[in-house]
Structure 1
């Protein structure tokens, strides 16, 4: 009788994938390792640039390195090929991890120490900047979710806010990466321009810190800008900036409710999962804000968390930057750049008006 080879049993649908055989690399690692390795090279390089030139934030450098890698012949082929999956993972998943860790920087006690008047003024600036930038985006006819992403990033906390909002909106990649590039461009412009205006506008170091905290986008950009006016300006700028960060959770929650309502009918018909009202990483962010506010955490723990957060966010921003194509920024004669500059001027004006109001 001829020997018959027994066919392997088919794996039931929905069952977990079998574990890789000993000595073999998992498919996930084979798919993502090259892009994550590129991040592992880019992040130390971003930190090195910051060490050599402290006025250039790590996050800004990480985005620029990502943009360069995607637009220089040679590396661009790797970005579009073997690096793509790993860079995409960094831009989405690591960004969310960085947002969670951002919660440890924010204490409600520090926010309340500003006083109710300052808190109300900062929140009003955020709302006016968000609404004004969104309307500008619509007026310039930017496509898709770009008006919403730019409004979120410019008014709250830069690329981190864009990442949070894009997750709850499930935005297309091009609707996320262009706003990240624009918020980096304008934040870098603020580092160079705002200190030059401190004297002509007659601002004291404390007032300058208020202006920077209320109008500059990313936390790192705020630090780089405010430190030019001394320690007192830097201290108040950081607290006001983190007060803006505090609005991230409710803004994302509102967007989640609106997205859920707008997509409910279509999702039910197509059998798709509805977007979450509040993503888990935002819940994690709020939880860590509560931990920082309630407990007296050791400075060593906070310093270590800051280092981890900076590394994770730098990798995420390198991944996001690698999805930017320079020609996209100049699409339709650079309309998106012109719109971003208008928004930057709007937010700077609102921040300055807020400073004047607080000095009355």
Structure 2
């Protein structure tokens, strides 16, 4: 999308909040720049940064940089990521993601009575990679801005709870087994930053394993986006008169295609270390910008209207997600 002159004040403010969040994360690594950016954005967006001239730029910042970040994420992983975890590791992640998606959809429909789109966003955010997955799924299921922002805020806030609890609960339940602790953290926490930050509170080996498990979830992002798009289109497809071609039936966003292509390139071509490192940094920062923009746009009324219900929804999903992960780990490893 073209950047208009009127967007510049909002973009500048969002970038400033993002940079400050990255700096503060040096001293608060267990929280992470993403969560700090969102919390700062909510605070400032409801107090001193309420000017209407900022709106268009902030909205641009929360939607478009993350698409570039998702695409570049493909340069940070390879197909060897899957191979390194073994059959049991792959099966664990696939089952864990599937169970998380089912739990989120069933709870959303049966217990918390949220919209189908909201439950799909919560399923994607918890099953895959937090705000990045929600950003990828949102346009494909035609979720509105409030649904998207509420889902991101809920997933991010619950993630903060998990990053405090898992380093304590994990060793008690699973012992000092680095692979298993890495599976627990990498298979449940939402953002890559939170996974690395949480695992690093235990030790470096756990961080390595957790990152590998997390990367496998990220690799499966494209599968989730396409599947959810088809689920959302299902009802309208039944009533549609003309028969559509496959290319019309499944519209894959450009950044998901780029994500897949970059994974394949990184798997078979030896890329410069500096390139993959830069891609990782840009991906991370795009996530910070995304959450800063969401925080600045997320008004207290929106949080109040659906906050307690969604927070309970998110906490219950995460609780069952952790219980499911521990059960699968004990079954498979």
Does residue 234 of the first structure (1) align with residue 204 of the second (2)?
Answer: no
- Structure 1 Cα separation of the partners of residues 11 and 182 of structure 2: 37
Bigger drift between 248-257 and 159-168 goes to 248-257
Q: Is the 8 A contact 1:215 1:350 kept in 2?
A: no
- Secondary structure of 1:122 counterpart: helix
- Equivalent residue for 1:90? 61
- Structure 2 Cα separation of the partners of residues 146 and 255 of structure 1: 12
Shift of 1:28: 4.7
Instruction: Report the CA distance shift for 1:143/1:260 in structure 2 as closer, same or farther (over 3 A).
Output: closer
Shift of 1:260: 4.0
Q: Figure out how many residues of one structure are paired with residues of the other and give that number.
A: 325
Alignment deviations for residues 256-291 of structure 1 (CA, whole Å, 9 cap, x no partner): 23344434588889xxxx785211111011111111
- Equivalent residue for 1:21? none
- Equivalent residue for 1:145? 117
Structure 2 unaligned runs (5+)? Answer: 243-247
Runs of 4+ in 1 over 6 A off after TM superposition: 265-269
- Structure 2 Cα separation of the partners of residues 235 and 28 of structure 1: 39
- Equivalent residue for 2:139? 167
- Structure 2 Cα separation of the partners of residues 154 and 181 of structure 1: 12
- Structure 1 Cα separation of the partners of residues 60 and 250 of structure 2: 20
Bigger drift between 218-227 and 316-325 goes to 316-325
- Structure 1 Cα separation of the partners of residues 64 and 155 of structure 2: 20
Does residue 155 of the first structure (1) align with residue 127 of the second (2)?
Answer: yes
Shift of 1:293: 1.2
Q: Which has the higher contact order (CA 8 A, sep 6+)?
A: 2
- Equivalent residue for 1:193? 165
Alignment deviations for residues 282-335 of structure 1 (CA, whole Å, 9 cap, x no partner): 101111111111112221111111122222221122112222223333326711
Shift of 1:114: 1.0
Q: Is the 8 A contact 1:152 1:161 kept in 2?
A: yes
- Structure 1 Cα separation of the partners of residues 3 and 84 of structure 2: 47
Structure 1 unaligned runs (5+)? Answer: 1-26
1:239-258 alignment, distance < 5 Å: 239-258=212-231
C-alpha root-mean-square deviation of aligned residues, in Å?
A: 2.1
Larger Rg, first or second structure (1 or 2): 1
- Structure 1 Cα separation of the partners of residues 276 and 40 of structure 2: 28
Does residue 348 of the first structure (1) align with residue 322 of the second (2)?
Answer: yes
- Equivalent residue for 2:12? 37
2:197 to 224, 230, 235: 224
Shift of 1:106: 1.6
Instruction: Report the CA distance shift for 1:140/1:261 in structure 2 as closer, same or farther (over 3 A).
Output: closer
